[in-house]
Amino acid sequence: QKEVEQDPGPLSVPEGAIVSLNCTYSNSAFQYFMWYRQYSRKGPELLMYTYSSGNKEDGRFTAQVDKSSKYISLFIRDSQPSDSATYLCAMRDLYNQGGKLIFGQGTELSVKP
Amino acid sequence: DTEVTQTPKHLVMGMTNKKSLKCEQHMGHRAMYWYKQKAKKPPELMFVYSYEKLSINESVPSRFSPECPNSSLLNLHLHALQPEDSALYLCASSQPGTGNGAQHFGDGTRLSIL
């Protein structure tokens, strides 16, 4: 079993839809959670960074962390064609001084006009 | 535009060549990373430098040789690479330690080995 599981998709939605992207994990020591967006032929771009449990909102994006269920989510409201990209969840534990991130496999999202 | 700059953007080299990839960041970060990414896969960590010292080597073959000349520069020296080394090579930076460890990535160097 992988430490972080993420449905690779592809996920196709119409413009304006609410998108829900999810990751589950097995390591209860994970404390820092990130979502990255990666466009084709570009590097991953940090979208959201959260510590421990709770919600964080930034514009059309909301990140949720439920440590009791070992489950994190990214919601995209009013999705746009420009949101079409691969979304990667990543996490690391409190004691990992080296900063090693554990990534999910990435979900490929397509938003159709 | 990203705050982590990588050069060159594309590189084609033969298996006997020696080349170097370069990465520069001006965010004041003291941890820098090299990742390898194959198509439709997540980035795989190769090396971590913390305060200009190599802190993690993920059992990377010796044909890849990292170097951190100062706190804002990171190089990856390549020699005698194999066709399976063709990939996107990403550099990232962050603050080290257990504080704000969010990593910021460059756009990578797309490497093709002939």
Q: Give per-residue pLDDT as tens, A62-105.
A: 999 999 999 999 999 999 999 999 999 999 887 765 678 999 99
Supply the DSSP string of B33-75, one letter for each residue: EEEEE-TTS--EEEEEEETTEEEEE-S--TTEEEEEEETTEEE
Q: Do B102 and A32 touch (CB under 8 A)?
A: yes
Q: Is the confidence at residue A56, as pLDDT, over 60?
A: yes
> Which residue of A lies nearest to B58 if distances are taken between CA atoms?
A100
Report the alpha-carbon distance of residue B98 to residue A69 in Å, rounded: 23
Say which residue, A106 or B100, is predicted with more confidence: A106
Q: Is the confidence at residue A4, as pLDDT, over 70?
A: yes
Give the residue-averaged pLDDT of A10-21.
97
Q: Which residues of A touch B55 (CB under 8 A)?
A: 97-98
Nearest to A84 by CA among A38, A29, A51, A52: A38
A·B CB contacts under 8 A: 67
Which of A45, A100, A107 is most worth mutating to test chain B (most B CB atoms within 10 A of its CB)? A100
Share above pLDDT 70 across residues of chain B, in percent, rounded to a whole number: 95
Q: Do A97 and B40 touch (CB under 8 A)?
A: no
Q: Are B56 and B32 in contact (CB under 8 A)?
A: no
Give the residue-averaged pLDDT of B71-88.
96
Chain B nearest CA to A8, separation (Å):
9
* A64 phi and psi angles, rounded to 5 deg: -125, 140
The residue written with tokens 């554990």 in the block is A102
Nearest to A103 by CA among B110, B30, B43, B3: B43
Decide if B107 touches A, using CB distance below 8 A.
Answer: yes
Nearest to A45 by CA among B9, B29, B102: B102
Q: Is the confidence at residue B100, as pLDDT, over 80?
A: no
Give the residue-averaged pLDDT of B46-68.
94
Decide if B5 touches A, using CB distance below 8 A.
Answer: no
**Confidence (pLDDT) at B44:** 96
**Confidence (pLDDT) at A110:** 97
Give whole-number Cα distances, A103 to A89, A100, B79, in Å. Answer: 6, 10, 28
Q: Give me chain B's average pLDDT, please.
A: 92
Q: Which residues of B touch A33 (CB under 8 A)?
A: none
The residue written with tokens 């990578």 in the block is B108
Residues 76-105 of B with CB under 8 A from A: 90, 94, 96-98, 100-105
